[in-house]
Amino acid sequence: MKIVRATTKGTGIPVSLGIAPTKTLAKVASKFAKKYRDYKGVCIIDSEIKREKALKLFDIEDVWGIGRRYAKKLRYYSINTAWDFTQKAKSWVRNQMGVVGERTWMELNGTPCFELEVQGAKKTICTSRSFGERLTEINPISEAVANFAASCGEKLRKQHSLANALMVFIHTNPHATNQAQYYNQILMKLPVSTNDSTELINYANQGLKKIFASGYKYKKAGVIITEIVPERPVQTNLFDQRDREKYNKVMRVMDSLNATYGNRKVRIATQGFGRKWKLKNEKLSPCYTTRLSDILVVNAIETPF
């Protein structure tokens, strides 16, 4: 209940919470929590009596994992609710709906079949933006690419990973048929696995210089980090002269300062401050709960009694 109240109060987004022994039953509980106000956003199915009552009130087509086609087929066999479905024999369900239907049947009967999905480390990281205005010179594009590479480095450090390859791409607006079109990309192998933003920015801008062509109005650029590996152990290079321990300390301090004082308060010089490439966001909704300047102002009006 506290989670639902805090989320709704802090974001203004109404949420519902369903708790049950299996994922499918939790979906059922969440549906009830969302539909009926008496639950106040939270529904818990923690007993056989509650499970039976919920399934008898739950339409078969609303069951997670049963689509329109199967719902129509099940109704042909007079299976109109989730409870009706659970009363069929397991062998019958397997024969009519295969192994996926059987798992849904088991979940509704309280036997977990679908494991919780825990998101692991990303295998590819991409940061890209469309420019607020069409860019023709390399300098503002280079500044944008530096910011994209720095963002990728920060994401790598957060998941304690390193990258072995980096790709940079740029392209014009494909919908502007009256303008000259250009698209190019370059993939670079890094000599040593890294998550150092300064190093990633250096290679990204090297790649940009190789693929940039004058005479075009560029709409978008991006940096893609690939061949991601764990932070430890690291395969070093015999001829590598970079003081990696020193730069690792710099990155840790920079991340700590940005976490304390705000995103990108401390940045690499090549990231710049001009942001001519910045995405247009005139229609962006105000940040009522996270930015002081956007807090709503209510003027009290005195009413004579």
Helices (H), the chain: 2-11, 23-35, 48-56, 68-76, 82-86, 90-108, 138-158, 197-211, 244-261
In angstroms, the CA 93 to CA 106 distance is: 10
For 13, 30, 221, 281, the CA distances from 284, given in Å and listed in that order, are 17, 31, 22, 5
Nearest 5°: CA angle at 289, between 288 and 291? 75
Q: How many helices (H) and strands (E) does the chain have?
A: 9, 6
Q: Residue 156: its pLDDT value, please? A: 93
**How does pLDDT run across 123-162, given as a tens digit for each residue?**
899 999 898 889 999 999 999 999 999 999 999 999 999 9
Between residues 67 and 186, which one has the greater pLDDT? 186
In angstroms, the CA 131 to CA 256 distance is: 29
Tell me the CATH number for domain 2-108.
1.10.150.20
In angstroms, the CA 174 to CA 171 distance is: 8
- Least confident range from 32-46, 70-84, 226-240: namely 226-240
Domain with CATH 1.10.150.20 in the chain: 2-108
Whether the Cβ atoms of residue 66 and residue 74 lie closer than 8 Å to each other: yes
Q: Taking Cα atoms as reference points, which of 234, 228, 227, 220 lies closest to residue 278? A: 220
Domain with CATH 3.30.1490.100 in the chain: 125-271
> What percent of the chain clears pLDDT 70, i.e. is strictly above it?
91
CATH class given for the domain over 125-271: alpha beta
